[in-house]
Chain A
Amino acid sequence: MKKYKFKIKNLDCANCANELEEALQKIDMIENVSISFMAQRLTFECMEENIEPALESIRKIIKKEEPDVILEEV
């Protein structure tokens, strides 16, 4: 398992952050998902070989839940 970090932009309410976090937790490939609204950070753990499909599912869920949000590499 490797730890991944992303900057998460345009997330404009704390409750939305919680809801998005919960939605992302349902992705099987990733674990220990956490969104910090204050630090604007998404952190999760994932097997290195799974990171591409994992990111794709993450992007899909973000697009559905919070279409304004942009994911950026740190």
Chain B
Amino acid sequence: MNHKRKKQLIKIMISLLLVVISLLFQFNEELYHNILYIIAYIIVGYDIVLKAIRNILKGKVFDENFLMTVATIGAFCIGEFPEAVAVMFFYQVGELFQSYAVDKSRKSVSNLMDIRPDYANVYRKSEVERVSPDEVNIGEIILVKPGEKIPLDGIVVEGESMLNTEALTGEAVPRKVSINDEVLSGCINNNGILKIKVEKEFEESTVSKILDLVENASSRKSKSENFISKFAKIYTPIVVWIAVLLAGIPPLIMKDAIFSDWLYRALSFLVVSCPCALVISIPLSFFGGIGAASKIGVLIKGSNYLESLASTEIIVCDKTGTLTEGVFKVQKIKPIGYSDEDLLRYASYAESFSNHPISLSLKQAYGKEINEKLITKTQEISGKGVLGEVDGKKVLVGNEKLMKEYNIKFEKNKEVGTIIYVAINEKFAGTILIADKIKEDSYKAVSSFKNNGIEKIVMLTGDRENISESVANALNLDEYHAELLPQDKVSFVEKLMTEKSSNGKLIFIGDGINDAPVLALSDIGVAMGGLGSDAAIEAADVVIMTDEPSKLSNSIQISKKTMRIVRQNIIFAITVKVGVLILSALGITTMWIAVFADVGVSILAILNALRILRIKKTKKE
């Protein structure tokens, strides 16, 4: 608790004490009670009254200080001393609580994003100097010890370590780095000592970009926020004018109307007229939602996007790299008369001099060193494959055409992907299937999209029809379109945009490469694998730091929760306020109820908004 709030709390306590004394002791004269009340009022509310006077001099009438001052002084005038003190007292309690809650949520969001490095250890004149990260230049060598944050993006030149990327990605599994690996600022060095050659200045480093993005997110306001500011702008003047009419008209036209009675009702109006509860709880909710998303490694660039996510109807996905891993791997080996390993060995050896992607996948799957002495001959047969002599055996590795050319009898393999046929000493030895694999996470993501009420999931890809079909079927997608050129993707997205309802949103999710036109065209453009890809961070509205599409579905859940809380707060606050206004006009309620409608609603709305942050925390445990 800071100094200002402590002082405020002391004022509140002293004033409470005076009120309690006045209530407990029966003085002979009413006057003593009233003096106690007036002192209590001055202690707790003098700053409000001063602010109100200052604002009147500047011509600002409808501000909350003014309203509270008029309401309370009015109550004194008609002899309602306890009410006057109570209104000011609870108003101050509410303000104190509000400032505490706002501060707390600011802190917890900044703790979530606690990735800003404080210093860098840089080698200068053969000594290690500790400097601020923005003083380090590109090309300098920095030292990062265990437990320290990596301050700038760079490349490891010495050492090996496990990096904790949780603050950036929400991912608990540490990442191993060694010489020549790229490292990103904001990661925490777990164990080894690393020497890193700086590649980017601090301003351009990942950590600065991410922080900047999150801090600016709340500047892009949501429709709900704009609605509330507009509402607040008309609500307060309307209520104040009704209060004036209420105090003035009935005593003039009604025969038995007592002025002080109607004034009391009007003063209750003023107490309820503050728009604070609404105005504070809504940005607070969005702020919390954006914070909760960044905790799981999803950066949302604006409150408006967080709001839109909840009304997603159509999700359009890219295939390669988004739903699939984007790397071609050996998926299946079907040998005939050989072991899996032998078949893979012969194939890798025969292909070992080729730089074709297929050759790389084979070598990667084989995983052992190639003894080049065993290869006595290799010959590439263009468009068909390779002929090689390995270990004295004649090995053919290639497609169907190659088998046909050499008159090898083979069984056709009809699986989806690239099929490598292998023959050894003129005899068919089996097939190897190389394919891009669907991410485990994609299954989870698609089913979770459907559970979250997404109406349509569409895959757009430039890849071949049969491969796309098998991915779409395996994932149970609603629609897919294959063999598309980039401009075809644009026209498909344009068409899909017309299919959603007027408030529904279309999300495009891709890996951020070559997607710029569709990212811009869709309501919300989501880029995946944002960690380390500046292009993706720039182009998208939402950035998923890891390559898990299911994070999008988590973000939609966060968005829905945020919107639910926002709606609850709007409805709750407006209902209570309007209800109390009606009751006050009829003279049924007291000022005490009016204070509750103002301060109580504020506090409840704030507590409700804070739930967004709290629930995320327990989930983590």
* A41 near B58: Cβ-Cβ < 8 Å: no
Hey, which chain A residues are within 8 Å of B102, CB to CB?
37-38
Q: Which of B54, B64, B106 contacts A15 (CB 8 A)?
A: B64
* A38 near B106: Cβ-Cβ < 8 Å: yes
Given contacts A15-B275, A18-B279, A64-B58, contact A41 B218 (CB under 8 A): yes
Interface string of B260-279 (1 = CB under 8 A from A): 00000000000000011001
Interface residues of B in 303-357 (CB under 8 A from A): none
* B216 near A39: Cβ-Cβ < 8 Å: yes
What separation, in Å, do the CA atoms of A40 and B218 have in the docked complex?
A: 9
- Cβ of B385 under 8 Å from chain A: no
* A14 near B218: Cβ-Cβ < 8 Å: no
* A34 near B232: Cβ-Cβ < 8 Å: no
Interface string of B207-234 (1 = CB under 8 A from A): 0000000011111110000000100110
Interface residues of A in 2-40 (CB under 8 A from B): 5, 12-16, 18, 22, 34-40
Hey, which chain B residues are within 8 Å of A57, CB to CB?
none
Q: In the complex, identify which listed stretch (B165-173, B280-288, B429-437, B521-529) lies at the interface while the others stay far away.
A: B280-288
* B287 near A39: Cβ-Cβ < 8 Å: yes
What separation, in Å, do the CA atoms of A41 and B220 have in the docked complex?
A: 11
Hey, which chain A residues are within 8 Å of B233, CB to CB?
18
Q: Which of B99, B215, B275, B280 contacts A41 (CB 8 A)?
A: B215
* B219 near A14: Cβ-Cβ < 8 Å: no
- Cβ of B105 under 8 Å from chain A: yes
Q: Which of A15, A16, A41, A64 contacts B219 (CB 8 A)?
A: A41
* A34 near B229: Cβ-Cβ < 8 Å: no
Hey, which chain A residues are within 8 Å of B219, CB to CB?
34-36, 39, 41, 43
* A14 near B283: Cβ-Cβ < 8 Å: yes
What separation, in Å, do the CA atoms of A38 and B110 have in the docked complex?
A: 11
* A37 near B283: Cβ-Cβ < 8 Å: yes
Nearest opposing residue in chain B for A7, CB measure: B215
Nearest opposing residue in chain B for A10, CB measure: B4
* A5 near B216: Cβ-Cβ < 8 Å: yes
* A38 near B105: Cβ-Cβ < 8 Å: yes
* A34 near B220: Cβ-Cβ < 8 Å: yes
Given contacts A36-B218, A41-B219, A43-B219, contact A15 B232 (CB under 8 A): yes
Interface residues of B in 79-135 (CB under 8 A from A): 95, 98-99, 102, 105-106, 109
Identify the interface centre among A22, A38, A64: most chain B CB within 10 Å of its CB.
Answer: A38
* B215 near A18: Cβ-Cβ < 8 Å: no
What separation, in Å, do the CA atoms of A26 and B423 have in the docked complex?
A: 79
What separation, in Å, do the CA atoms of A6 and B223 have in the docked complex?
A: 24
* A14 near B280: Cβ-Cβ < 8 Å: yes
CB B21 to nearest CB in A, in angstroms, measures 31
Identify the interface centre among B60, B106, B279: most chain A CB within 10 Å of its CB.
Answer: B279
Hey, which chain B residues are within 8 Å of A64, CB to CB?
58
Hey, which chain A residues are within 8 Å of B215, CB to CB?
39, 41
What separation, in Å, do the CA atoms of A40 and B102 have in the docked complex?
A: 11
CB B258 to nearest CB in A, in angstroms, measures 34
* B280 near A13: Cβ-Cβ < 8 Å: yes
Hey, which chain B residues are within 8 Å of A36, CB to CB?
216, 218-219, 283
Q: Which of A18, A38, A41, A43 contacts B284 (CB 8 A)?
A: A38
What separation, in Å, do the CA atoms of A22 and B283 have in the docked complex?
A: 16
Nearest opposing residue in chain B for A13, CB measure: B276
Given contacts A38-B105, A64-B58, contact A15 B283 (CB under 8 A): no
What separation, in Å, do the CA atoms of A64 and B232 have in the docked complex?
A: 21
Nearest opposing residue in chain B for A42, CB measure: B219
Hey, which chain A residues are within 8 Å of B276, CB to CB?
13-15
What separation, in Å, do the CA atoms of A64 and B279 have in the docked complex?
A: 22
Identify the interface centre among A22, A37, A65: most chain B CB within 10 Å of its CB.
Answer: A37
CB B471 to nearest CB in A, in angstroms, measures 41
CB A53 to nearest CB in B, in angstroms, measures 23
Nearest opposing residue in chain B for A33, CB measure: B219
Hey, which chain B residues are within 8 Å of A14, CB to CB?
276, 279-280, 283
CB B150 to nearest CB in A, in angstroms, measures 22
* B216 near A41: Cβ-Cβ < 8 Å: yes
Hey, which chain A residues are within 8 Å of B105, CB to CB?
38
* B64 near A13: Cβ-Cβ < 8 Å: yes
Hey, which chain B residues are within 8 Å of A37, CB to CB?
102, 280, 283
What separation, in Å, do the CA atoms of A64 and B221 have in the docked complex?
A: 25
Nearest opposing residue in chain B for A34, CB measure: B219
What separation, in Å, do the CA atoms of A33 and B64 have in the docked complex?
A: 24
CB B214 to nearest CB in A, in angstroms, measures 8
Interface residues of A in 30-74 (CB under 8 A from B): 34-41, 43, 64-65, 67
Nearest opposing residue in chain A for B280, CB measure: A14
Given contacts A12-B99, A15-B232, contact A39 B218 (CB under 8 A): yes
CB A25 to nearest CB in B, in angstroms, measures 12
What separation, in Å, do the CA atoms of A65 and B51 have in the docked complex?
A: 12
Given contacts A13-B276, A64-B58, contact A38 B229 (CB under 8 A): no
CB A51 to nearest CB in B, in angstroms, measures 18
Given contacts A13-B276, A15-B64, contact A38 B283 (CB under 8 A): yes
Nearest opposing residue in chain A for B285, CB measure: A38
Nearest opposing residue in chain A for B55, CB measure: A65
Hey, which chain A residues are within 8 Å of B280, CB to CB?
13-15, 37
Given A13-B98, A38-B106, A39-B216; 18 other pairs, CB 8 A cutoff = A13-B64, A13-B276, A13-B279, A14-B276, A14-B280, A15-B276, A15-B279, A36-B216, A37-B283, A38-B102, A38-B109, A38-B286, A38-B287, A39-B218, A39-B219, A40-B106, A41-B218, A64-B58
Chain A interface residues toward B at CB < 8 A: 5, 12-16, 18, 22, 34-41, 43, 64-65, 67
Chain B interface residues toward A at CB < 8 A: 54, 58, 60, 63-64, 95, 98-99, 102, 105-106, 109, 215-221, 229, 232-233, 275-276, 279-280, 283-284, 286-287
Jot down 29 A-B pairs with beta carbons below 8 A, ordered by A.
A12-B95, A12-B99, A13-B64, A13-B276, A14-B283, A15-B64, A15-B232, A15-B279, A16-B63, A18-B233, A18-B279, A34-B221, A35-B219, A36-B219, A37-B280, A37-B283, A38-B102, A38-B105, A38-B106, A38-B218, A38-B284, A39-B106, A39-B216, A39-B217, A40-B106, A41-B215, A43-B216, A65-B60, A67-B54
Can you list the 10 inter-chain pairs with the closest CB atoms, starting with the nearest? A38-B287, A36-B218, A34-B219, A14-B280, A18-B229, A14-B279, A15-B279, A39-B218, A36-B219, A43-B219
